[in-house]
Amino acid sequence: MRFLCIVPIYNEERKLKNLIKKIKSSQKKIKNLSFLLINNGSSDNSLKYIRASGINFINFNKNYGVGYALIYGLKYCIKKKYKFLIHIAGNGKMLPSEIEKFRRKILYENYNFVNGSRFLPKGKFKTNPLSRIIMIKILSLMISILYFRKITDATCGYRAFEVKLFQKNIKIFDKKNLYTYGYEYYSLGKVLINKKIRFTEVPVTMKYTKKNYSKIRPVIDWVPLILGWIRARIDGKKI
């Protein structure tokens, strides 16, 4: 049962050295786990660190958006015939060592989509800004009501899932309006709508630095995020 972990990266030279070290450690400890680093047109020295890491990577000559990188990763996963796909952030806020939690839920508890949550018992979010915590909790409550399915962390991009869930109808995701932050939430919305998908959450650590903890800009980048959730609920398309 092979797992591929996609890591989109954009201008993360300050955090990459430590993240790469953690990725290599996890790769040694977790069976049948591979990583694919996707350099999304970084203008700093990120590509230099990626090349030196020895980890498999893809390089884009410009930043097409995190959604584009993840959709590309999904296509790559299908082509290379991986059964399971994992997403983690390239800024080091997620711990690669926690991939084992997702793996166990899939392999031993028969779930086929597992999402991370910093707000579950044993989840950690102490370094997260208070304003962000409040906003995410409010959004998570709204999404739970909108979708009639409980979710405690509606913006956590740490996830693992069975590739076949998206393989059949991949065309509904490969659209320009989902190439930024919309894809992650639109796709998760489609999962929540489909009651046949065995969905659950696992507790994770979300560790933010004091400065530049996220590239998501207040208001501006929350628009495609929220629109992704709304479109998924009303457009009638299914996976």
Beta-strand relationship, 84-87 and 159-162: antiparallel
């980048």: which residue's tokens?
221
The confidence score (pLDDT) of residue 132 equals: 87
- pLDDT < 70 positions in the chain: 210-221
Contact 161, 199 (CB under 8 A): no
Residue 80: what are its φ and ψ, rounded to 5°?
A: -90, 0
The confidence score (pLDDT) of residue 226 equals: 87
The confidence score (pLDDT) of residue 215 equals: 65
- Helix axis angle for 222-234 and 182-193, nearest 10°, is 30
**What is the pTM assigned to this prediction?**
0.93
The confidence score (pLDDT) of residue 191 equals: 97
CA angle 115, 67, 205 (to 5 degrees): 35
Domains by residue range for the chain, with CATH = 3-234 (3.90.550.10)
